[in-house]
Amino acid sequence: MLDVHFEIDGKRVSPNNIGNALERSILQEITNQIKESLQSVRCEEHGQYPIVTVKGRNLHDLSFEISGCCDSLVSKATSKLD
């Protein structure tokens, strides 16, 4: 299963644990869009899914880091999100 993690200002956060309803909604929508874009991406050799970490100092400055079992999987996932 595809994993999406968030790190805001250096701290790991979960969209479900954000007190602000608007921020929670934004993070959940980001999660949904990433999962929709990458739902078909799976390593043909290892059977693994990519891991996406969304990082930023705040919600207005986010970037994506993709990791996985091999460079081929990371490359596939990166091209789908570009």
pLDDT confidence bin for 18, thresholds 50/70/90: confident
Cα(68)–Cα(37) distance, integer angstroms: 16
- Helix (H) or strand (E) segment spanning residue 56: strand 51-56
**pLDDT tens sequence across 29-70:** 999 999 999 999 999 999 999 999 999 998 889 999 999 999
Cα(78)–Cα(9) distance, integer angstroms: 23
Structural domain total, the chain: 1
Q: How far is CA 25 from CA 1, 8, 16, 32, in A?
A: 22, 15, 9, 10
Torsion angle of the four alpha carbons 47, 70, 26, 10, in this order, in degrees rounded to the nearest 10 = 130
pLDDT of residue 11: 92
Domain range for residue 64? 3-81
Q: Above 90 in pLDDT, residue 78? A: yes
